[in-house]
Structure 1
Amino acid sequence: MSNAYTIIVADDHPLFRAALTQAIGAQVDGAKVLEAEHLEHLERQMHSEIDLVLLDLHMPGANGFSGLIYLRNHFPSVPVIVISGNEQAIVIHRAMHFGAAGFIPKSSSMSDIIEAITEVLNGGQWVPADLPAANKEMDAQDSKFAGQLASLTPQQFKVMVMLTEGLLNKQIAYELSVSEATIKAHVTAILRKLGVYSRTQAVILAGRLRIEHPQDESVK
């Protein structure tokens, strides 16, 4: 690969982040690699000229798939490869539904990781070759939910995530520095777009964003 790319490695595991940064620098010619150890740090580095983000689903500040959907909402032109120690098929399929361009298990060899990066930088998608087929019913539900999420504005999505964390309207208003009336309007719009009638139903539906933290995310 001879093009110059700017790539962000967003992962809170310093050894894995360093190893991945070194490998990309050595095998992707002219690549500029930035690092982020939590979601806020990633947000500060994001702009439209970033060519690729490698995103750990469990980095601080993210709630399951919320970091991925945040990036897809705010920077739709920037491809995101999820890289995670959680290798369950349902997690991989769900990540792809929510807009990932690829999914790399942390147990992958460095050659597979570079192959995935190359494929996505060339405009393709990449998932493990041995990925089982999706459950059709679950796949259909995830597709519907992904479409509903895509209809939310970035601010509405942020409010929805805060709802799942159990925050009250006045608490969300304080966190976002807006009026409580504004939050009420957002909640009404969220319920309508998700096709539900209560906050509780919205929180249950948004449970699809959560994933189990793998027991061991050490570098393998």
Structure 2
Amino acid sequence: MSQDTLWLVADDHPLFRQAIMESLKPAFTEVTWLEAETSDQLEQQLQANDEIELLLLDLKIPGAHGFSTLIHVRSHFPEIPVVVVSAFEDRDTIQKAIQSGASGFIPKSLPATGMVEAVQHVLNGGVWVPDADITAAADDSSEIAERVASLTPQQYRILMMFAEGLLNKQIAPELGVSEATVKAHATAIFKKLGVTNRTQAVIALGQLELDKDQTHFEG
């Protein structure tokens, strides 16, 4: 492993980011660490650093909607293995993460030795989950996942803004484009998602959300 090896940890909690890095540093001593607190920062880091070799991703990072960020990253940065690190530990969430392209799923309750083992397994080309019986069985969200994966980075960002309830006139200055450009992107988004308006687009995106019954967890 060279001194130039870059790993990125994306989690909105500084203490969790620090804990992840401190757990892995003794075993992976030649890694340079990058950090992101939000989905926007994650995208900026990925765009600015084409030598990133591993992403450790929190599913609940601000700006994400369930598995949408994972799907987006795997679609646009397929060469980067993604290991989900989450407080969500149920079988369904783990299955959907692997189905959405994750190379591993590490519960935040896993001890440091287990985390090192999991990351090494992924680096060796394997897929690591905490329960060997868990498989990536397809479900009803698989089709919408493929459609979201087909969005360009700009289209994906606009869809996330739709989900936040922003209007075209609010999105345009945020992105530095005209309202007409936002409308053109919206039309393309609707076509790719197989919907006719932004409400339907947000509803479709909702299929990728985490289990609503578990939202009390910080994951």
Distance in 1 (alpha carbons) for counterparts of 2:205 and 2:217: 25
Deviation at 1:174, TM superposition (A): 2.1
Distance in 1 (alpha carbons) for counterparts of 2:104 and 2:171: 32
TM-score in terms of structure 2 length: 0.84
Partner of 1:9: 9
Distance in 2 (alpha carbons) for counterparts of 1:41 and 1:145: 25
Deviation at 1:104, TM superposition (A): 1.0
Partner of 1:215: 216
Q: State how many pairs are aligned.
A: 214
Identify if the C-alpha distance between structure 1 residues 148 and 49 changes in structure 2 by more than 3 Å, giving closer, same or farther. same
Q: Mind listing any 5+ residue stretches in structure 1 that lack a counterpart?
A: none
Deviation at 1:80, TM superposition (A): 1.2
1:44-93 superposed Cα distances (whole Å, 9 cap, x missing partner): 43322111011112233434334323433442221111111012322222
Q: Are 2:89 and 1:87 aligned?
A: yes
Greater shift, 154-163 or 8-17, is seen at 8-17
Partner of 1:154: 153
SS at match of 1:26: coil
Distance in 2 (alpha carbons) for counterparts of 1:28 and 1:55: 18
Distance in 2 (alpha carbons) for counterparts of 1:178 and 1:14: 33
Equivalent residue for 2:131, pick from 118, 129, 134: 129
Equivalent residue runs for 1:44-193 within 5 Å: 44-46=44-46, 47-129=49-131, 132=134, 139-193=138-192
Deviation at 1:111, TM superposition (A): 1.9
SS at match of 1:100: coil
Distance in 1 (alpha carbons) for counterparts of 2:134 and 2:124: 25
Identify if the C-alpha distance between structure 1 residues 73 and 179 changes in structure 2 by more than 3 Å, giving closer, same or farther. farther
1:7-51 superposed Cα distances (whole Å, 9 cap, x missing partner): 122223333322221221101242223333334444443322111
Q: Mind listing any 5+ residue stretches in structure 2 that lack a counterpart?
A: none
SS at match of 2:60: coil
Please tell me whether the aligned partners of residues 3 and 29 of structure 1 are also in contact (alpha carbons under 8 angstroms).
Answer: no
Distance in 2 (alpha carbons) for counterparts of 1:37 and 1:151: 25
Please tell me whether the aligned partners of residues 151 and 189 of structure 2 are also in contact (alpha carbons under 8 angstroms).
Answer: yes
Partner of 1:194: 193
Identify if the C-alpha distance between structure 1 residues 97 and 53 changes in structure 2 by more than 3 Å, giving closer, same or farther. same
Distance in 2 (alpha carbons) for counterparts of 1:152 and 1:180: 19
4+ residue runs over 6 A deviation: none
Please tell me whether the aligned partners of residues 172 and 183 of structure 1 are also in contact (alpha carbons under 8 angstroms).
Answer: yes
Deviation at 1:3, TM superposition (A): 5.9
SS at match of 1:27: coil
SS at match of 1:6: strand
SS at match of 2:56: strand
SS at match of 2:139: helix
Identity of aligned residues (%): 50
Distance in 1 (alpha carbons) for counterparts of 2:135 and 2:72: 27
Partner of 1:38: 38
1:88-133 superposed Cα distances (whole Å, 9 cap, x missing partner): 3222222223322211111112222111111111222212225655
- What RMSD in Å do the two structures reach over aligned CA positions? 2.5
Identify if the C-alpha distance between structure 1 residues 53 and 170 changes in structure 2 by more than 3 Å, giving closer, same or farther. same
TM-score in terms of structure 1 length: 0.84
Please tell me whether the aligned partners of residues 12 and 37 of structure 1 are also in contact (alpha carbons under 8 angstroms).
Answer: yes
